[in-house]
């Protein structure tokens, strides 16, 4: 099994898409320089970061959606981090110093309709909403995380599972 890594780091002044940056500082409220169009819905300590797998984005692109890394609003595009195995409560170290804790699957909003009205149904269903990891769409909409220990994140940084959710 290959080591999961950060493929791309993304921020925006608010809304979609988020654009790639060379490096980022993770803080308890998210990545420095990142913002949200609707801070009453997105962001905050329990939704400081959004992770989405490169594999999910590539699969959706292969199905005809006009996506690219950052298009879905993710802060971290990952590689090798299997969305089906993600669970709230898992803690990961990213690079040398950043520690995050997964909090919940992301519920996609209508902002994703710009890429196709059916996209949100491709990545999220009632089972995911009910927090059932048996859903075939589990983890595809992304996973929110809190930042336990902040610090520098670089593309290519390894992602290491520290604690497995029970």
What is the predicted pLDDT for the residue at 164?
A: 77
Domain encompassing residue 71: 5-163
Q: Which two tokens stand for residue 8?
A: 């791309």
Gap between the Cα atoms of 41 and 22, Å rounded? 27
Domain count, the chain: 1
Confidence of residue 166 (pLDDT cuts 50, 70, 90): low
Assess whether pLDDT exceeds 80 at residue 40.
Answer: no
pTM here is 0.95
What is the predicted pLDDT for the residue at 36?
A: 79
Confidence of residue 96 (pLDDT cuts 50, 70, 90): very high
In this structure, what CATH number is given to the domain that contains residue 117?
2.40.33.20
CA distances (Å), origin 31, targets 43, 45, 55, 59, 79 = 10, 11, 23, 26, 19
């Amino acid at each position: 099994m290959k080591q999961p890594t950060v493929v791309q780091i993304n921020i925006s002044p608010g809304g979609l898409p988020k654009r790639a940056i060379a490096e980022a500082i993770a803080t308890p409220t998210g990545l420095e320089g990142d913002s949200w169009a609707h801070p009453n819905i997105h962001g905050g300590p329990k939704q400081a970061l959004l992770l989405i797998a490169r594999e999910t984005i590539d699969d959706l692109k292969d199905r005809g959606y006009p996506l690219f890394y950052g298009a879905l609003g993710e802060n971290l595009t990952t590689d090798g981090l299997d969305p089906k195995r993600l669970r709230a409560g898992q803690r990961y170290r990213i690079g040398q110093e950043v520690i995050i804790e997964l909090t919940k699957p992301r519920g996609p909003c209508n902002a994703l309709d710009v890429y196709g009205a059916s996209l949100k149904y491709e990545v999220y269903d009632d089972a995911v909403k009910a927090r059932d990891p048996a859903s075939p769409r589990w983890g595809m909409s992304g996973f929110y995380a809190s930042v336990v220990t902040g610090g520098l994140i670089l593309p290519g940084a390894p992602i290491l599972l520290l604690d497995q959710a029970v």
